[in-house]
A and B are shown apart, each in its own frame.
Chain A
Amino acid sequence: MFKGRKIQWLSVITLLLLVTGCSLSDPVQPELKANHSWQEITELAETTQVNMHIWGGSEAVNRYLDEWVKPRLKKTYNIDLNRVPIQDTQDILQKLRIEKQAGKKSGSVDMIWINGENFKLAKEQQLLSSPFVSRLPHYNQYYDQTAKDMIFDFGEPTEGLEAPWGKSQFVFFYDSAKVKKPPQTLAELKEWVTQNPGKFTYPAPPDFTGSAFIRQALYETTGSYEPFTAELDESALTRYTSPLWKSLNEMKPFLWRDGKTYPESIAKLDQLYANGEVWLTMGYDPAKAANQIQKGHFPKTTRSFVLKNGTLSNTHYLAIPFNASNEAGALVTINELLSPAAQMTKYDPNYWGEEMALDIQKLSSEDQKRLREIDRGPAVLPSEVLAKHRVPETSAKLVEQLEQGWKEHVAKQ
């Protein structure tokens, strides 16, 4: 009898929670005004919680945020950084779009990690807050505000809607015990695969890295990256892509498994490389090999190389959603992530090992000295070499056009 009562009450409470659950959790935050000074913003941000929704698939990134950034924010500003791991930034954008349609003013997301296609989408659909980067003291002091690879995100003007957090660059990896002289151009790579049949392949687009390899090959077959920073019409696209498909198809019979299938993900390609089934791999992260060697996954003799005419590079950014509840907290957090200390720690391979977004020339001489002392090991190319071989990304639209084209003209053949 008593037990029955209890269940009744539980049912009622569950129902009530279901009905009211959404409205109970909305925190009230003081609103941020356009004329607030940085001092006032910092005061507003104190003792608040910042919800950072970020792709959780990288252990290095998670560790950097949890072990270094989080305690620092707590100590300096008394801000609680709540890292919410997500699978795909698009899910967040989808959520924001629905919230926008529904007119929800205070959302649960304060900061997102974004670039490329997602940024273009978020900008078009007006899912981001008003331009904010010029409010950040560290941005104004340490960042090159005219650099093309910063103010254009996959060809899309950033217009201050997102703050540069880091840079990635496309690099290839080889096992120096098996490959004496790695190829420097696509033509040399083609020659290499004919001499070493079955020892090279690339992930099938739309895998992120596989898709980047196709764009890299497009630059090589065209001889320049310049035509691709803007969107192309149908006929121009065909003119540029037909030599690309031809070239990839010529390579095909000499690829792993005779090019009849491709690894579905970069993880699979790395596995093939680690097992010695293929002798080259790639990644949109210059420090990847170093990390994989440390984990005992890649052979210790793994080294990196870039192509003579440069490899793709892009900047990734932090942005604030249009309905962030804690805009002040997000601003302070982003400013902190852009600081020389945070950027240099991020550059350290013990944390993340990623290229910095800030301009090294603008660092104090002490910091520059400290930077030179960070040893990234023989598997990572020196920053100067990477910087010298950097070419910008294509327009976001082309990324998808190439993915489609590859399926039609290469995979299906």
Chain B
Amino acid sequence: MWQNSKPYLFLLPAITMIFVLFVMGLGEGISQSLGVYSSTDKLHFAYYVQLWSDPNTWSSLKFTFKIAFLSTLSSGILGLILSVVLLRTSDQTPLLFKTLQLPLLLPHFIGAYFIVLLCMQSGFLARIAYLLGFISDPSQFPILVNDHWGLGIILTYIWKETPFIAWMLYPVLKRIQNTWWDAARLSGANRFQYMREIVLPLVFPTWLTSCFIVFAFTFSAFEIPYLLGVSYPQALPVLSYELFTSGDWEKRSLALALSLSIAFITGILGFFTYILGKRIRTQKGVGW
């Protein structure tokens, strides 16, 4: 009896912590977004209605979706290329290896500050351009951060997420034996065909999952769009933060409704990613 329940008992402190801090916090968030602060309050969806009938929320959604999509697509493609490069040069370039681990260690907001100091109109690059005589005033330097296209945001995400995707794919690629390439060549395949027919199908499920993780993060993270975004439209997480910290406590419910909407959208996308991955895997027999 004691032997059987022992694992559960050992897990209890950890589970209690997760339950108290995460599950209860989430529950509290959901109930406050529905206007329930105490047991006497009636549940209603007015905050969600108010939120999504505001055109500003929709323009924020569009903006957030755009930066998340472009960041994911760019880092997905670059990450894939990088992982192949890593695989083929891993023995000769230990320095490249170490360098690519660096972005994983640094928090996102440090990356954001790094991009700001580098790319702002009076930043490091602009100063070099000034010294070399290309520009005579900061305002002549191209606008790379706090721009309407979200270029600075996307740049930061690419800097941070490309190595992430590369490192996710690297161990999968590593399992592909060199002899397979010889076998494929013997059967008359060229490099391109080998990539398309053998390598890509093998890494695709991992690639899809990594891309989803990147999308979910870039869609719901606050710090980078806050530091590198524009005053209007704001990314959804920035909007949520502003609502939450405004003096009015009524707006906290709106902020929570928005945060939960973000989580809901990411959840739906996660579900579709899962279905898509599963279908491809079973129909075409790709993956390991």
Contact = CB atoms under 8 A, between A and B. Distances in A.
Contacts of B227: 264
Interface in A232-272: 257, 260-264, 272
Interface in A74-128: 88, 90, 94, 101, 117-118, 121
B246 A277 contact: no
B13 A261 contact: no
Given A8-B9, A260-B148, A276-B122, A101 B38 contact: yes
Given A8-B9, A262-B231, A206 B121 contact: no
Given A277-B138, A400-B247, A403-B246, A7 B10 contact: yes
Interface in A201-247: 204, 206
B122 A275 contact: yes
A396 interface: yes
Interface in A1-26: 7-8, 11, 14-15, 18
A11 B249 contact: no
Interface string B142-162: 010011100000000000000
A277 B122 contact: yes
A204 B143 contact: no
B9 A90 contact: no
Contact of B247 (A121, A261, A277): A121
A368 B229 CA distance: 49
A14 B11 CA distance: 12
Contacts of B147: 261
A264 B247 contact: no
B245 A88 contact: yes
B139 interface: yes
Given A18-B20, A204-B231, A262-B231, 16 more contacts: A7-B10, A8-B6, A11-B9, A11-B13, A15-B13, A88-B245, A261-B146, A275-B122, A275-B123, A396-B247, A400-B246, A400-B247, A407-B231, A411-B231, A412-B56, A412-B232
15 contacts: A15-B12, A15-B16, A18-B13, A18-B20, A117-B247, A121-B249, A198-B139, A261-B231, A264-B146, A264-B229, A275-B122, A276-B122, A277-B122, A407-B232, A412-B56
Interface of B: 6, 9-10, 12-13, 16, 20, 38, 56, 120-123, 138-139, 143, 146-148, 226-227, 229-232, 242, 245-249
The 6 A-B pairs with the shortest beta carbon distances in the complex, nearest first, are A275-B122, A261-B230, A117-B247, A277-B122, A411-B232, A204-B231
